[in-house]
Chains A and B, each alone.
Chain A
Amino acid sequence: MANIQQTQAFYGLTLEPPSAPTASVLCNVIPGLKAGDQQIFEARGQRIALHRISENADRTERKFTTVLEQDVFGIVRGVATSRIPGTSTDQLIISSDSGRIALLTYDHDKNQFRRTHLETYGKSGVRRVIPGHYLASDSRGRCVMLGSVEKNKVVYMLHRDSDGQIIISSPHEANQWQSLCFALCALDTGWESPIFAALEVEYTESEGDPTGDAFERREKQLVYYTVDMGLNHVVKTWSDTVDYTANMLFGVPGGQDGPSGVLVCAEDRIYYRHDKHPTLCVPIPRRQGKTEDANRKRCIVAGCLHLAKTRHEFFFLLQTEDGDVFKLTISLEVDDQGRQTANPERMTLKYYDTFPVARQMLLHKKGFLYIAAENGNSQLYHIDDLADDPEFEPHNTFTSDDVPTEPEEEYEPNYFQPRELKMTHLAIDIPGLHPLMKTRVENLTSEDAPQIYAVQGTGNKSQFKTIRHGLDVEVIISNSMGNVPYDNIWTFKHRASDEHHRYLLLSSSYGDITIACSLGDSVEQIENSPFLENRATVHAQQMGDSTLVQVHARGIRSILESGAQNEWQVPSGTVVAASANDRQLLLALSTAELAFFFMGDDGILNQLEEMPEMSGKVTALSVGRTPRGRQQARYAVVGCDDCTIRVMSIELDSPLESRSVQALSAIPTSLEVVEMLDPASHTTVSIVHIGLQSGLYLRAVIDETTGELGDVRTKFLGTRAPRLCPVEVNNEECVIACSSRPWLGYNHPQTNLYTVTPLINEPIEAARSFITPDLSGLCAIQGSSLLIFQIPSIEGRLSHSSIDLSYTPRGMARHPHFPLWYTVQSDANALSKATRNQLRGGSIDENEEATALEKHLGLPRGTSHWASCIQVVDPVYYNKVISSVELDENEAALCCACVPFASRDYEVFLAVGTGQHMALDNKTTPKGYVHIYRLHENGTKLELVHKTQFDNPIYALLPFNGRLALGVANELFIYDIGMKALLRKSRGAAVPNQIVSLESQGNRIVCGDVSDSVTYVVYKPKFNRMIPFVDDVVQRWTTTTTMVDYETTAGGDKFGNLWIVRCPEQPSQEADEEGAGGYIMNERSYLNGAPYRLDLRAHYYTQDIPMSMQRTALVAGGQEVLFWSGLQGTLGMLVPFVTRDDVEFFTGLEQQMRAEAPPLAGRDHLMYRSYYVPVKGVIDGDLCERFMLLSYDSKQKISAELDRSVKEIEKKVQEMRTRVAF
Chain B
Amino acid sequence: MADKLRTQQQLESLQNKYVGTGHSDTTKHEWTANIARDSYASYQGHPPLLHYMAIGMGMPMEKVRMHCMEKMVLPCGPAPRAED
Contact = CB atoms under 8 A, between A and B. Distances in A.
Interface of A: 20, 22, 45, 75, 77, 97, 126-129, 132-133, 148-151, 178, 180, 182, 201, 203, 206-212, 215, 218, 247-248, 299, 301-302, 321, 357, 359, 374-375, 434-435, 437, 458, 808, 827-830, 861, 920, 1054-1056, 1103-1105, 1126-1128
Contact of A201 (B49, B51, B73): B73
Given A321-B60, A374-B60, A77 B45 contact: yes
B41 A301 contact: no
10 contacts: A22-B47, A75-B46, A126-B45, A150-B72, A206-B73, A247-B66, A299-B62, A301-B60, A321-B59, A1103-B48
Given A133-B44, A210-B81, A247 B62 contact: yes
B13 interface: no
A935 B60 CA distance: 37
B63 interface: yes
Say what secondary structure dominates the interface of chain A.
Answer: loop
A1094 to B, nearest CB: 25
Contacts of A1054: 49, 52
Contacts of A208: 79
Contacts of B56: 828
Contacts of B41: 126-128, 133, 148-150
B69 A182 contact: yes
A301 B78 contact: no
B57 interface: yes
B72 A149 contact: yes
A319 to B, nearest CB: 9
Contact of A209 (B20, B38, B49, B78): B78
Contacts of B73: 180, 201, 203, 206, 215, 218
B47 A75 contact: yes
B19 interface: yes
A212 B77 CA distance: 8
B48 A1126 contact: yes
Nearest to A1130: B48
Interface string B59-75: 11111001001001110
A151 B33 CA distance: 16
Contact of A1127 (B38, B52, B62, B66): B52
A1056 B46 CA distance: 10
Contacts of B55: 375, 435, 437, 458, 808, 1127
Given A374-B61, A829-B57, A207 B37 contact: no
Given A75-B47, A1126-B48, 10 more contacts: A126-B46, A128-B38, A129-B18, A150-B72, A203-B72, A206-B73, A299-B66, A301-B63, A357-B60, A375-B55
Interface in B1-23: 18-20
Given A218-B73, A301-B60, A210 B78 contact: yes
Contact of A150 (B19, B51, B63, B79): B19
A129 B46 contact: no
B27 to A, nearest CB: 11
Contacts of A301: 60-63
Nearest to A248: B62
A684 B73 CA distance: 64
A861 B60 CA distance: 12
B37 to A, nearest CB: 6
A180 to B, nearest CB: 5
Nearest to A826: B58
B39 to A, nearest CB: 9
A1128 B60 contact: no
A1038 B25 CA distance: 36
B61 A828 contact: no
Interface string B26-54: 00000001000110011011111101101
A375 B46 CA distance: 16
B68 to A, nearest CB: 9
A827 B45 contact: no
A81 B77 CA distance: 40
Contacts of A247: 62, 66
B78 A215 contact: yes
Contacts of B77: 212
User: Most A CB atoms within 10 A — which of B57, B66, B81?
Assistant: B66
Which 4 A-B pairs rank lowest in CB-CB distance, beginning with the nearest? A828-B58, A126-B45, A128-B41, A301-B62
Given A128-B37, A920-B57, A20 B51 contact: yes
A349 B20 CA distance: 44
B33 A207 contact: yes
A709 B49 CA distance: 51
User: Most B CB atoms within 10 A — which of A97, A128, A434?
Assistant: A128
Contacts of A182: 66, 69
Given A149-B69, A150-B41, A215-B73, A1105 B49 contact: yes
Contacts of B54: 374
A935 B2 CA distance: 81
A35 to B, nearest CB: 30
A126 B42 contact: yes
Given A210-B79, A210-B80, A211-B78, A829 B59 contact: yes
A919 B42 CA distance: 23
A129 B19 contact: yes
A222 to B, nearest CB: 15
B45 A133 contact: yes
A1104 B81 contact: no
Contacts of A808: 55, 58
Contacts of B62: 247-248, 299, 301-302, 321
User: Most B CB atoms within 10 A — which of A180, A209, A218, A437?
Assistant: A180
B62 to A, nearest CB: 4
Nearest to A201: B73
Nearest to B80: A210
A151 B58 contact: no
Contacts of B52: 1054, 1105, 1127
Nearest to A301: B62
A673 B40 CA distance: 61
Contact of B58 (A829, A1055, A1126): A829
Contacts of B46: 75, 126, 1055-1056
Nearest to A210: B81
B57 A128 contact: no
A148 B61 CA distance: 18
Given A129-B19, A321-B60, A435-B55, A203 B48 contact: no
Nearest to B67: A920
Nearest to A132: B45
Nearest to B42: A126
Given A301-B63, A828-B58, A1105-B48, A203 B74 contact: yes
Contacts of A1103: 48
A751 B7 CA distance: 54
Contact of B49 (A22, A178, A1055): A1055
Contacts of B74: 203, 206-207, 215
A458 B47 CA distance: 17
Nearest to B48: A1105
Contacts of B44: 133, 149
Contacts of A178: 19
A939 to B, nearest CB: 29
A302 B60 CA distance: 10
Nearest to B59: A829
Nearest to B82: A210
A302 B61 CA distance: 11
B72 A180 contact: yes
Nearest to B47: A22
Contacts of A434: 51
Contacts of B47: 20, 22, 45, 75, 77, 1128
Contacts of B61: 301, 359, 374
A209 B77 CA distance: 10
Contacts of B69: 149, 180, 182
A1103 B20 CA distance: 26
A127 B56 CA distance: 24
Given A150-B41, A180-B69, A435-B51, A206 B78 contact: yes
